[in-house]
Structure 1
Amino acid sequence: MKIFNLWRKLTLKKLFLLLIVLSNISFAKSNFYINPKIGIDLVSRYEKIDDDNGNSLLGDKTKGFGGEVAIEGYKILNESIDLGLGVAYQDHSDRKHFDYTSNVDTSGVQYRSIPVYLAGRYNFLLESKTKPYLRANLGYSFNFNSSDLEEKNSVNDQTEKTAIDIDGGLYYGIGTGIEYKDYTIELMYAINQCKSSIDGSHSKDRTDYDRISLLIGYRFNF
């Protein structure tokens, strides 16, 4: 566990360093800004997972908190279009317990993500202090910290746990926002693609996480 935590910290540092280096290359001698933000998931769900017989093993409903912190750097291409790079740390909601059989309920197979992505923004040119815009993200989601599949038997009150492996996948999202005095508020629909498998198995299931999020940020101009 200590080795995994160390690897995770080093990986996160490398991603931030990569973002800074790419930003310096892309934004050199040009107008650019950095937009850190924090967000919460308003509505979310996981991909359903079936057992070997085609019956639902895990449901798609979620519970509890889901959110993220992100930092994005943009180059101003013209009055309407900004193009940039972003990285985020995302703590997804937990999966709700699912009634697998009359005596067994299941849960787990959830994870966290660090997506690295291209970010685009289209600004509507209005004579107003409030500036609306559309935006989109496209990149890769590094998924980690997967939880076990848990099967709890209500008869004997015992819980069986099965270790799960997960893979990374595409990350993409679209949304809209408004900017007022360098403060930004956004509503985003985004998906982290993921595939999961029982530890050691070659059979993989889609375990995507999608949600609608509310994000608040601030724009630092350079």
Structure 2
Amino acid sequence: MKKILVLLSLAGSVAMAQGNVYEFRAGWDLYNRAKDTDKEYKIRKDVLKTGPEVSFEYRRELTNNFDLGAGLSYKYNNLTDKKVEVNKNNTDVSMKGLHSVPIYGTARYNFRNDSAVTPYVKANLGFAVNSGKVQFQKINTPGVDETAEMKFKHGFYYGVGAGIEYNNFVADLSYNTNTLRAKYNYSYNDAAGNKLETSSKDTLNHRMLTLSVGYSLKN
């Protein structure tokens, strides 16, 4: 009988340890920057604004301390032309904010203890679907057809973070990088009136420090 009780106790512990976790979070950037490795191309900090983020994660409790799963986020950062120094009489500036949808795998280690507060650390690795555009176009200039454009494309996504959980409520601080691809297109007409086009690609490392709060459902 004693052995049966021990086995039942162990089975119950395993069932609890291997539960499902569904976590919903919402957050906001405390800091964000976007520039390439050589710092040749970048989006100025007064142009790229901090923004909101919402996330959903599913994790499996593989042990009492370790969770493994996947997540999906939506993030938006507004781009403003108010600080862009151009002559508005002959240059039109059009900006569409940066939309990002990171899809990632996640791992979390929970520091279980005797209190109701559980600290944890986490790491994410995945891919981000990005969209957005910045465009400059010459206007009110007869004989001149000149356009410069930068479009945001997809890239890798990774990050680390730390937080606490209390009665299924969570709060964490994470540092994430979205290696978004930027495609530059430039078109203009030469002295003979012929239209010429050039293009190039680069990677902008969009780095963010994000504070999030949320709630976990477990079964």
Q: TM-score, normalised by structure 2?
A: 0.70
Aligned match for 2:108, one of 121, 136, 140: 121
| Aligned position for 1:9 | none
Distance 1:91 1:175, change over 3 A: same
> What CA distance in whole angstroms lies between the structure 1 residues aligned with 2:128 and 2:52?
15
Distance 1:183 1:58, change over 3 A: closer
Asked whether 1:221 is paired with 2:218, we answer yes
Q: Who wins on radius of gyration, i.e. which is larger?
A: 2
> What CA distance in whole angstroms lies between the structure 2 residues aligned with 1:60 and 1:183?
32
Structure with bigger helix share is 1
| Structure 2 residue ranges without an equivalent (≥5) | 1-17, 140-145, 186-196
> What CA distance in whole angstroms lies between the structure 2 residues aligned with 1:213 and 1:149?
28
| Aligned position for 2:64 | 79
Aligned match for 1:134, one of 101, 115, 121: 121
What fraction of aligned residue pairs are identical, expressed as a percent?
28
| Aligned position for 1:34 | 22
Tell me the C-alpha RMSD between the 2 structures: 3.3
Measure how far apart 1:131 and its partner are: 0.6
Structure with bigger strand share is 2
CA contact (8 A) 2:120 2:164 kept: yes
**1:40 partner amino acid:** W
Measure how far apart 1:120 and its partner are: 0.7
**1:81 partner amino acid:** F
Distance 1:165 1:63, change over 3 A: closer
Distance 1:58 1:173, change over 3 A: closer
Q: TM-score, normalised by structure 1?
A: 0.70
| Structure 1 residue ranges without an equivalent (≥5) | 1-29, 154-159
Aligned match for 2:135, one of 145, 149, 156: 149
CA contact (8 A) 1:47 1:60 kept: no
**2:51 partner amino acid:** G
Asked whether 1:210 is paired with 2:202, we answer no
> What CA distance in whole angstroms lies between the structure 2 residues aligned with 1:152 and 1:188?
41
Measure how far apart 1:128 and its partner are: 1.0
> What CA distance in whole angstroms lies between the structure 1 residues aligned with 2:177 and 2:21?
25
